Structure 1
């Protein structure tokens, strides 16, 4: 591969190389940019390493532009960053690191390029390309990262036990890269992850969830979750998901393995949506099955109420894992709570009343709910799957009809509580809430249309039964 011809396509490389020569700094583009260049993947991050002060090099590069270039300096880390249109360009001095056993914060000292490459997490991230004039475009690849890319393996540059013990987050990163790139993890490297899985305890939940979300956003996230499960990393931060694994049997009655079912649902959702939170809803939809599992001699294994209990479990899991405690959490909660509703409509005659209630409860998330429900149909019997999906088509057609006629999605009752109080001289009270609720129920049951006139007619009738008169 001709790296020089690629560097020539972007002016930043020759500019940094020229300034590095002037400052007498041995300088290289390193890490993810080089990896993605070899893999022919798009990248907007460029990392430069120099043997010397990365901050001094960054300042000189920023000053070399006629126009103002934003420069951010992080003295504590010895790094600096500049923004060039869509590019995020970082500069750092080559360094070597050592660690205490109880901390992932390294003791950092100036180092050579070789020492800097040795401290990198994986061989595919330890390649460097020179930008100095005397060897411009030359690849320095001491650990055969190119060979590992060709073999599609993730491997550490040095002893993996030391690599992961020094920085346990690298175990999550190994699985994330394997999932993103569809690579295998080299056997000794994977055994070291298994050996050091408990070390993940010293990593913050924020750092773990950042890597996990990147795994979830891959084309086939189930691969990453299987690696997390087998390595026992998943056990360290997501025990509720681990508990889904396994099959119980009594006589000839067994239930399916809910862990692998969940992974299939997640993959199915990933084929139709890139939305992270819809994918989280897929992960969480059966999370309460272990807690609700019961055996009934007549019907076998049951999980009654797992959708409601699962919905109640969502906030606690989100809080512990440092996921956002906002509308995104409530969205996941809602989809977990409602995920059986469309399936129940499939298994019985679809009534307009049931459809209205589903539209009302799901609101603008109805389309995502249906994606989740379609993804939830997993079976080795393809005819059964196709039959269920065909029934979902009927449900969605009915939804369109009801929505066009009644506009019940996210509707507010046509008569407000303030209007009721003004009409009948009431103060805020239980009876006002009851009147609003009865009007809402009448609309959802199809007894009246969702409009002001019919709602007011019903209100007067209901008020009369309660002995209320207008002012």
Structure 2
């Protein structure tokens, strides 16, 4: 691989060696694509994340290319090269294609399909007040790279020659683990304010630091993120939250003021700690709960397995947001105490509103709100044994999120008092044991009344209507309180309830 710029230092040499190995293993079909474009008189270069990842020793599943060809020309070339192609991004200059893996030789590892996206050289900019960028096609690779978000993503490899192009010293920034913009940070963020969210996301995903000028620009321009659609902001937040360690990215959001416009409930957790330290730092507590919840996910990023395979977005959002109801419910009590009465209920409503505003899907909104509402339910269990009825209600209220609730509740213990932490852990061990015991005796996963609606109508001689629903609800309450009932007992319970209604 030849290079159009070089930088001294052993770190750079290490990165270059890694990249050579990754690029040497680049799918032959991708290299052949470079030959196809060159034969048609067009430039083609691997750009952005795949190049950055090559220097980090990672292989990207999807390959992004930039080209001098127009979208129509690109579509024609990809139609010949691939087994399938799509033009859903054509308005932005992007054409996608897939080429099925060709049979490998004897004893060779089978290669995966090759998926590519090829985008015409371009520049993006927002009109004043617009939520979508205008796209203007360019004519040079260097010009296209200049519009990229950060220098570590503004590197390219020309194909088929494998010439490395790095006009903004992105390789040096990669070695220094820093995020810097190809043009001035102010111009870059003015062109596309979403890049401020990407700065936070890359801080989480890559563990890189923002350069002082980038940080200052985010602080000065944070409010401009409001012109970006909620869906695009959400997508960046999701990628941040699914990183191996989201904390650095969340800290960037809060420290720069960007969170005030994206997730204001998070910086609001930085409650002023009074001189007597009557409550813990809720913001730092929430970040710790998030980290502990991630540690309790099952499996790994590469091999997610078990009851809560990581990365689990619902668990992570619930861990981060579980205490957002504390700021509006904080009260200083006589005698020096601090209370947050019903903060779990208030927080559940706040979490639902924020996630809806960010255009999260209904299932995610409901799940995070439910976990937030239930995260305190366990407290008090260790003070006295719950009845079987209480255990059944706990399981039923958690529904399909019971395993997440287990992990959220355990993660919510951040005390430095070892004896208190052990007591809470032992108590939750006991609760899980109780749940397992009841599972063996009863169908806790789907608690239902011992009589269904049809049976209720037959016994009472009713037609479908509200009374049947009331009877069903009464029998469900008895099932919770008393456990499974025989058909005879259930019928007796139903008739006794019906007699009360008639009286």
1:201 counterpart residue number: 226
After superposition, the Cα gap between the structure-2 partners of 1:361 and 1:453, relative to the gap in structure 1 and judged at 3 Å, is: farther
Distance 1:316 1:173 in 2: 24
Q: What's the TM-score, normalizing by structure 1? A: 0.90
Q: Deviations over 1:97-153 (max 9, x none)?
A: 555454462351422122111111111111111114xxx122111112111111111
1:88 paired to 2:125: no
Give the Å deviation of 1:389: 1.1
1:360 to 386, 396, 406: 396
Give the Å deviation of 1:90: 1.4
2:373 counterpart residue number: 337
1:460 paired to 2:484: no
Query: Is the 1:345–1:354 contact (alpha carbons within 8 Å) kept by the matching residues of 2?
Result: no
Structure 2: which 5+ residue stretches go unaligned?
1-15, 101-112, 298-310
Give the Å deviation of 1:4: 6.2
Query: Is the 1:435–1:459 contact (alpha carbons within 8 Å) kept by the matching residues of 2?
Result: yes
Distance 1:160 1:415 in 2: 67
**Pairwise CA RMSD of aligned residues?**
2.4
Distance 1:8 1:55 in 2: 30
Structure 2 counterparts to residues 73-112 of structure 1, below 5 A:
74-85=89-100, 86-97=113-124, 100-103=127-130, 105-106=133-134, 108-112=136-140
Query: Is the 2:151–2:170 contact (alpha carbons within 8 Å) kept by the matching residues of 1?
Result: yes
1:411 counterpart residue number: 447
Distance 1:191 1:204 in 2: 23
1:259 to 255, 258, 283: 283
Distance 1:436 1:75 in 2: 55
Query: Is the 1:310–1:336 contact (alpha carbons within 8 Å) kept by the matching residues of 2?
Result: yes
Q: Deviations over 1:397-427 (max 9, x none)?
A: 1111122223233311112344333322345
After superposition, the Cα gap between the structure-2 partners of 1:121 and 1:431, relative to the gap in structure 1 and judged at 3 Å, is: closer
1:128 counterpart residue number: 156
Deviation >6 Å, runs of 4+: none
Q: Deviations over 1:148-176 (max 9, x none)?
A: 11111111112111111111000001110
Q: What's the TM-score, normalizing by structure 2? A: 0.85
Q: Deviations over 1:187-207 (max 9, x none)?
A: 111111111111111111110
Secondary structure, counterpart of 1:83 in structure 2: strand
Query: Is the 2:71–2:119 contact (alpha carbons within 8 Å) kept by the matching residues of 1?
Result: yes
1:315 counterpart residue number: 352
1:28 counterpart residue number: 45
1:384 counterpart residue number: 420
After superposition, the Cα gap between the structure-2 partners of 1:450 and 1:36, relative to the gap in structure 1 and judged at 3 Å, is: farther
After superposition, the Cα gap between the structure-2 partners of 1:348 and 1:75, relative to the gap in structure 1 and judged at 3 Å, is: same
1:119 to 141, 147, 152: 147
Secondary structure, counterpart of 1:459 in structure 2: helix
2:250 counterpart residue number: 225
1:237 counterpart residue number: 262
Secondary structure, counterpart of 1:290 in structure 2: helix
Secondary structure, counterpart of 1:91 in structure 2: strand
2:5 counterpart residue number: none
1:270 paired to 2:297: no
After superposition, the Cα gap between the structure-2 partners of 1:467 and 1:46, relative to the gap in structure 1 and judged at 3 Å, is: closer
1:16 counterpart residue number: 33
1:402 counterpart residue number: 438
Distance 1:19 1:381 in 2: 66
Structure 2 counterparts to residues 60-71 of structure 1, below 5 A:
60-64=77-81, 68-71=83-86
Query: Is the 1:408–1:450 contact (alpha carbons within 8 Å) kept by the matching residues of 2?
Result: no
1:423 paired to 2:451: no
1:138 paired to 2:159: no
Query: Is the 2:122–2:135 contact (alpha carbons within 8 Å) kept by the matching residues of 1?
Result: no
